[in-house]
Amino acid sequence: MELTPSEQDRLLIFTAAQLAQSRRARGVKLNAPEATALIAHAVIEAARDGASHAQALVAGQTAVTETELLPGVGSLLTGIAVEGVFDDGRRLVVVDFASTDTNIPGEVIRLEVAPQVSTAKTIDIIVRNESTIGISVTTHMHFFEVNPRLKFDRAAAYGMRLHIPAGEHVDFPPGQDVSVELEAIGGNRVLIGFAGLVDGPLDAPGAKEQALAKAREWGYLDGGQS
Amino acid sequence: MTPEELRDAQQDIAVHGARKGDFVRLGDTDLVIRVENDDRETGNELQIGFGKNARDGMGMRSVRSSESCDVVITNVLVIDALLGIRVTSIGIRNGRISAIGRAGNPDTMNNIDVVVGSGSVIIPGEGLIATAGGIDTHVHAMTPRVCDSALSSGVTTVIAQEFGSFWGVGISSSWALQQGHNMFAHWPLNVGILGRAAGSTRDPLLEGLEGGVCGFKIHEDTGAHPRTLDTTLTFADEYDVAIALHTDGLNEMSSVADTLNVIGDRAVHAYHVEGCGGGHAPDVLTMAGRDNILASSTNPTLAYGINAADEHVAMIISAHGMNPELPSDVEIAHRRVRQATMAAENRLHDMGVIPVTSSDALGMGRADDTWRKTFAMASMFADHSILDGSVAPDEIAVSNERVLRHVAKITINPALVHGLSHEVGAIKVGLLADIVLWPYASFASKPNMVIKGGLPAYGVVGDPGATVSNAQPLVIGPQFGAYGASAQELGVHFSNGLSQVVVAGRRSVPVQNTRTVRGSDMVRHGILGEVQVDPTGHTVTFNDQIVSSDAITHSPLTRTFLI
């Protein structure tokens, strides 16, 4: 058979699925490893039978039913990743079981709305993407130094970043105006790197003027007063 | 909350994990904790990935790791007996915890405690719980695989009594000990070996010290006589090593009162104090609650269950070189199994009287079950209303103190008892970065990652040929920290001041302060008082009040997760 490590791993899934299958056949309610094995097995076997990726996904999603599971198991059956050998090669399938069980191990209960952005003071600016492709900007990017093809009041954006939850971004589609809120960058306010327009303390005497001059020189579009 | 706010909250929890004030149910237990603190600044949470802020100049500072950290575990829910229950980040440098608090780049973010460098390794901790690595002070290493079993369950420090399938119960041959230390260096695990305190004279004990033991085991099967006890304790006081005691279960030379009399006020770690694992029958439990007796339990009697008594007779016979065909062996085995002391032991844990849990792996306990059993036991005494919906969410009885007490039993308290707390036992600046990451959903049952000395040593790994690292079949197995010279270097050999042993590639560290530690020092425990067991073994009292608990029919953390 000349089985690779990955192929040998398939046999582990098969063994666990056979065990789970025999337990299910006796009417035993399934726990997390048992149900997971049946779901992974169903995907692999669907792929082997010539199913499409979409069909194998459905096979995984329907491999077990809520009534076959122990209480508290349904919510654990999320993000089950498995690679089947499809007719066009090996493919990754990720299965989420749609559970309605209210017994949720590890459940987080939040009673009040938690803020997701800072309480910092903000300014509004309008940004226009003058290029032909979409541009996205993330939270902790120094907005002053974003893509030269975005046109907005650069001076107003000096030392600022987007006022949105950390890790999110704003899309600027080509040829459109987008209004965004900016807040001041915190900490020591020292920016090293980025596009190289500042590369030092934001608030040092003359730093802002120098950065603006550099931006002009390098062709950054600026919609502000100049 | 409106449905829209609820959806936003669920999304926020999925991205950032629990925040301050949130309630978190631990695994499938009845334990619900409330997050006490969150070191993050809202809007400035450090996040890794595509389009996230952990990038050069933004959340990461372009400096060497000597000015930042080698590794950082970000935004993780720490449950630590000393630190409490808080969302924070843990910086690691040279294998030790270097900073705890808010992580990021101080050039762009306010009040940063953990400086993250452009080259720092980042282990994202959102949705995970971090505890200190478990410390199992009672392991019969009868098979090498016991080390894998321990690591897979979130145990990073083991106090062993053998290194092979042979009769050990402590080893004092310095030649054999040198080999043993060499063998254990194969695993990214801190290991101390107990010497056998079976000599009535000092010479065998000295040999054990020269052979690098971290303490001694007194066991009735090799002689727990008054003379042995006294010689060993006197010796231990001179050289600062811990004494683990399994007392005379036959009451052959002494009863429990005599044993206590010989001990005097010297510190002793009383193994499996309930007595099923051995020791004065039926009343060894009376050793608990005293200031100089540091009592522990082994895991089969924890989360006292309806089948606990039934499994034990055969276990005793099998583990202790007895013969089931011999009526006298069967009879003394039966004497060790008492439901009342088991029921009382669990309650004494919840009260804070017994401060330590351990396994007794392969010698009447399970190497990979101590976290699970400790928290299944904690759940026995929690408010069960969370599941039946009989109370409104804001009235949920929060189990923070109970959870921290039970974390202490498997982390800081065993570290204190065996003199390891200068190296391990807590998530604390200066200690080894032995940290276990658990999903909220499988806390204390199945870890996601076991970090040993700052790097992943064990954890969930999947199909090695897949496009992603989390493809089935997921197993809990060795990570890179378990290979090559790193396995040696990431673990520590717990030793003593007279040791002549050199373990290639591994640091030897003498244990400390084992003789001055007291029950009242036990973190989130230290409840002292008088435990009494009536002569029939049917009733246990603490300060004249009956202590007991009901046997459970279903153990959390178990059926849901184990195939």
- Of the CA atoms within 13 Å of residue A46, those in its CB half-sphere come to 24
**B contact test, residue of A7, A18, A140 with most B CBs within 10 A:** A140
Q: What is the CATH number of the domain that holds B27?
A: 2.30.40.10
> Would you say residue B273 lies in a domain?
yes
* pLDDT at residue B398, rounded to an integer: 86
Residues B121 and B137 in one domain: no
Tell me if residue B349 is catalytic.
no
Last residue of a domain, one of B102, B126, B150: B126
- Give B163's DSSP letter: S
Confidence of residue B537 (pLDDT cuts 50, 70, 90): confident
- Tell whether B314 lies on the interface with A, counting CB pairs under 8 A: no
Which residue is catalytic, options B138, B181, B272, B320? B320
> Would you say residue B45 lies in a domain?
yes
Q: Quick check: B166 and B179 in contact, CB under 8 A?
A: no
Residues B200 and B139 in one domain: yes
Average pLDDT over residues B290-312: 96
Q: Which residues of chain A have pLDDT under 50?
A: 226
Which residue range(s) make up the domain with B367?
A: 133-411+520-546
- Closest-CA distance of chain A to residue B463, Å: 6
Residues B299 and B371 in one domain: yes
* pLDDT at residue B321, rounded to an integer: 87
Q: Mean pLDDT of all residues in chain B?
A: 95
Residues B230 and B171 in one domain: yes
> Would you say residue B444 lies in a domain?
no
Q: Is A104 left (phi over 0), alpha (psi -120 to 50) or beta?
A: beta
Digit-coded pLDDT (tens) for B160-194: 999 999 988 999 999 999 999 999 999 999 999 99
CA distance B431 to B421: 8
- Tell whether B226 lies on the interface with A, counting CB pairs under 8 A: no
The single residue listed with the structure tokens 């449905």 is B3
> Would you say residue B317 lies in a domain?
yes
Q: How many CB pairs under 8 A join A and B?
A: 207
Digit-coded pLDDT (tens) for B104-156: 999 999 999 999 999 999 999 999 999 999 999 999 999 999 999 999 999 99
* pLDDT at residue B167, rounded to an integer: 86
- Closest-CA distance of chain B to residue A186, Å: 5
Omega before B473 within 30 of 0, i.e. cis: yes
Digit-coded pLDDT (tens) for A159-190: 999 999 999 999 999 999 999 999 999 999 99
Average pLDDT over residues B254-263: 96
Query: CB under 8 Å, gap of 24 or more: what pairs does A131-135 form?
Result: A131/A174, A132/A174, A133/A174, A134/A171, A134/A172, A134/A173, A134/A174, A135/A171, A135/A172
> Would you say residue B486 lies in a domain?
no
Residues 6 or more apart from B538 whose CB is under 8 A from it? B338, B340
CB atoms within 10 A of CB A213: 12
Question: Is the pLDDT confidence value at B472 over 80?
Answer: yes
Write down the ipTM of this complex.
0.96
Residues B90 and B108 in one domain: yes
Digit-coded pLDDT (tens) for B17-36: 999 999 999 999 999 999 99
Digit-coded pLDDT (tens) for B417-451: 999 999 999 999 999 999 999 999 999 999 999 99
Residues B255 and B310 in one domain: yes
At B90, list the tokens.
């843990």
B 426-445 residues inside an 8 A Cβ radius of A:
439-443
| Element spanning B295, H or E | strand B293-298
- Tell whether A25 lies on the interface with B, counting CB pairs under 8 A: no
Last residue of a domain, one of B126, B152, B182: B126
Residues B361 and B380 in one domain: yes
* pLDDT at residue B393, rounded to an integer: 58
Nearest alpha carbon to residue B96 among B448, B375, B429, B543? B429
Residues B112 and B181 in one domain: no
Residues B100 and B233 in one domain: no
Cα dihedral B9, B10, B15, B16, rounded to 10, equals 50
Residues B92 and B224 in one domain: no
Digit-coded pLDDT (tens) for B359-395: 999 999 999 999 999 999 999 999 766 555 566 555 5
Measured between its terminal Cα atoms, the distance across chain B in Å is: 38
Q: Quick check: B531 and B332 in contact, CB under 8 A?
A: no
Confidence of residue B200 (pLDDT cuts 50, 70, 90): confident
Residues B117 and B246 in one domain: no
Which chain B residues are Cβ-neighbours of A40 within 8 angstroms?
A: 472-473
